Each structure stands twice: as structure tokens, then as C-alpha cells.
């Protein structure tokens, strides 16, 4: 499979300064800390229905914690592209790719939206990134356009803690807001506007959700 242009020069893009300075601080401790509260990776990647030889895009890929699972789903003949606005997070993703010798995984720096890529994908994943992206509706709509017909867009993210006893939900949501995460977003409803066959599964009483939809 031919890899698209994705490891070329850094695209400047419109980047969110606050988010980038947040991840400048958090990148060094990201991999050591996020296992404790970012759940559902394997289930979310399963729900993308990737097959050997497929292509996958992760929007807001961070340090590349999902790359091993995505790569094993697409196999050696498929490929994975990650996009992120933070150079510190991407530097770690690059190091992971180099250390593990993954020739079919590549990253590109860009702030989303826009999502200007020259190819379409079998699957697009937002893993704990959509609730941080300011223009998230536009990001979803753009990502949906990058899907091959029938391809899957998956979103894994924090939910709205609906079944948690009061005041646990609002306290956690407040803490998430301080960490640039905005949970009161009607993600599944918006997915329905640009994708077919949208399903959303809430887990752990609304701690996180996995939503999927098919490209038109």
C-alpha cells in the first residue's frame, strides 16, 4: 500500500495556544498518567471494523497510545496516520514510531479543523480529542468527508456522567473543564447530521462513550 504524504514539513495551521501550552507541560507525563483515567481504547478501535490492508486516521493522536492497536487492526499492508496540533505530543509519537520501527505509521502536525488530507480512509478515530477541539462540529463534518463510502468514524470520549450520584458528575466535569475538556457536547446527535447508521454506547454510568457512524 502506498503511504500518503504525511511526514513532510510541519503544516503551520491555526493552533490553539492554550491547548498547546497545556500539552507542552503534560506531554512528558502523558503516557505514565493517562492509563488511570482514559478507558475504552480497545473497544473503540474494535468498533471501527478495520480489516487487514485498511487505512486509518486518528485526529488528535497525541503521543500515539492508540497506534499499536490501530496498526495491528490494519496489518502490515495497511497504514495509520495521526494528526495533532501539539509538537511536544507528536515528538513522542514520532519517537514511538521510530523505536518500534513502524514503517506504515506516520504523523503530521496540524490544528483541526481544517482537515486537509489528500486521501480518504476506511476509518477515522477521535480518541479523547473531540471534547478538546474548539470547532468540534466542523471537525466532525470534515472528518466525515475523509471517509471512504461505508467507512467508519469512531469517537471515544468522556461522557456526561448522567448515572453518577450528585454531585460527583458536576465536580468531575468541572475538573475536566480545567483540563480543557468540554463534555456537554451533543456528539452523537451531530454525527447523525453527517454520517449514517450512528450508534452511541455509554459506559461506566456515562464516564465515557463510544459512538460510531458510517461514511456516506
Ligand X SMILES: C[S@@+](CC[C@H](N)C(=O)[O-])C[C@H]1O[C@@H](n2cnc3c(N)ncnc32)[C@H](O)[C@@H]1O
CB nearer to ligand X: give 34 or 148. 34
Task: Report the residue count for the chain.
Answer: 216
Q: Any contact of residue 154 with ligand X (CB under 6 A)?
A: no
Q: Which of 45, 70, 105, 133 binds ligand X (CB under 6 A)?
A: 133
Q: Are 214 and 191 in contact (CB under 8 A)?
A: no
Nearest-approach distance from CB 39 to ligand X, in angstroms: 10
CB nearer to ligand X: give 91 or 120. 91
Instruction: Return the closest-CA partner of residue 133 out of 80, 190, 51.
Output: 190
Q: Which of residues 103-132 bind ligand X (CB under 6 A)?
A: 111-112, 127-129, 132
Return the beta strands (E) in 47-168 as ranges: 55-59, 79-84, 105-109, 121-127, 147-158
Residue by residue, DSSP assigns 186-214 as -HHHHHHHH-EEEEEEEEGGGTEEEEEEE
CB nearer to ligand X: give 41 or 213. 41
Q: Are 178 and 170 in contact (CB under 8 A)?
A: no
CB nearer to ligand X: give 155 or 195. 155
- Residues lying near ligand X in the complex (CB under 6 A): 16, 19, 23, 34, 38, 60-62, 65-66, 84-86, 89, 111-112, 127-129, 132-133
Amino acid at each position: 500500500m502506498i503511504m500518503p504524504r504525511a511526514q513532510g514539513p510541519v503544516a503551520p495551521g491555526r493552533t490553539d495556544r492554550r491547548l498547546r501550552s497545556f500539552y507542552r507541560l503534560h506531554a512528558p507525563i502523558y503516557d505514565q498518567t493517562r492509563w488511570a483515567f482514559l478507558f475504552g481504547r480497545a473497544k473503540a478501535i474494535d468498533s471501527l471494523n478495520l480489516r487487514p490492508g485498511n487505512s486509518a486516521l486518528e485526529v488528535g493522536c497525541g503521543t500515539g497510545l492508540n497506534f499499536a492497536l490501530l496498526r495491528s487492526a490494519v496489518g502490515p499492508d495497511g497504514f495509520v496516520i495521526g494528526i495533532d496540533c501539539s509538537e511536544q505530543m507528536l515528538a513522542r509519537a514520532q519517537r514511538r514510531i521510530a523505536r518500534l520501527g513502524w514503517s506504515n505509521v506516520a504523523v503530521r502536525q496540524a490544528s483541526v479543523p481544517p482537515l486537509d488530507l489528500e486521501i480518504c480512509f476506511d476509518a477515522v478515530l477521535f480518541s479523547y480529542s473531540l471534547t478538546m477541539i474548539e470547532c468540534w462540529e466542523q471537525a466532525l463534518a470534515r472528518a466525515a468527508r475523509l471517509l471512504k463510502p461505508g467507512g467508519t468514524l469512531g469517537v471515544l470520549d468522556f461522557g456526561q456522567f448522567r448515572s453518577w450520584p450528585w454531585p460527583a458528575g458536576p465536580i468531575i466535569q468541572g475538573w475536566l473543564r480545567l483540563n480543557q475538556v468540554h463534555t456537554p457536547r451533543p456528539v452523537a446527535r451531530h454525527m447523525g447530521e453527517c454520517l449514517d447508521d450512528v450508534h452511541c454506547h455509554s459506559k461506566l454510568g456515562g464516564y465515557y462513550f463510544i459512538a460510531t457512524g458510517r461514511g456516506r
